[in-house]
Amino acid sequence: MRSVTYSMNVSLDGYIVGPDGGFDWSVPGEDVFRFWIDEIRDVGVHLMGRRLYETMLYWETAEQDPALDDAGREWAALWNPLPKVVFSTTLSTVEGHARLASGGVAEEIERLRAEPGEGEIAIGGATLAAEAAASGLIDEYRAMVYPVLVGGGISFFPRNERRVDLELVETRTYSSNVVYLRHRVTR
């Protein structure tokens, strides 16, 4: 069965964006960007909400950007053909290899798990991840922790009333003092 992973950049105090909605503190250095390039290779489909989808739209045409470096070109070459499912109540169309979700998060994940396919089901976006977590559908939490306190905003971890036990699978520390933490949900 395909595993469901939730991966995002997060501040040390646990937020994916600050109180003002900004995430300029999470611009990856070269080594962290290289990690994300390697990470996306294992993804078979990416689930995202509208805000993340709109943020990532840049990559649909990034190859036309003359300032794009080799790592950016490599990311775009991996990201663009990747199937994406967008959850939105306001969008009526999406671009590239994306499609709008036809059901709720749990329904989509169960359908994707039942289909033949390779690679992980990746979730990007805290709101979407919280819905999946509430149904017990996340298998791994992967946090790229940045050494900054933003004081509030959107929390990386879902706020629900149930305990989730985790097993530490991997850690890495990067030259920019960013720390990668990978935890598997124990059931």
- Structure token pair of residue 136: 């017990």
CB atoms < 10 A from the CB of 133, how many?
Answer: 23
* Spatial distance between the Cα atoms of 80 and 182, rounded to a whole number of angstroms: 25
What is the pLDDT at residue 159?
77
What is the pLDDT at residue 137?
95
Instruction: Give the residue extent of every domain in the chain.
Output: 4-185
What is the pLDDT at residue 181?
98
HEC per residue, the chain? CCCEEEEEEEECCCEEECCCCCCHHHCCCHHHHHHHHHHHCCEEEEEEEHHHHHHHCHHHHHHHCCCCCHHHHHHHHHHCCCCEEEECCCCCCCCCCEEECCCCHHHHHHHHHHCCCCCEEEEECHHHHHHHHHCCCCCEEEEEEECCCCCCCEECCCCCCCCCCEEEEEEEECCCCCEEEEEEECC
Q: Give the residue from 18, 20, 56, 27 showing the smallest Cα distance to 154.
A: 18
Show pLDDT as tens, one digit a residue, over the chain (187 residues): 899 999 999 999 999 999 999 999 998 889 999 999 999 999 999 999 998 999 999 998 998 999 999 999 999 999 999 999 999 999 999 999 999 998 899 999 999 999 888 899 999 989 999 999 999 999 999 999 999 999 999 999 877 777 899 999 999 999 999 999 999 999 8
Beta strand 120-124 with 4-11 is parallel
Alpha-carbon 142 to chain mean position: 9
* Spatial distance between the Cα atoms of 42 and 111, rounded to a whole number of angstroms: 19
CB 43 within 8 A of CB 101: no
What is the pLDDT at residue 165?
94
What is the pLDDT at residue 162?
79
Q: Does domain 4-185 have CATH number 3.40.430.10?
A: yes
pTM: 0.92
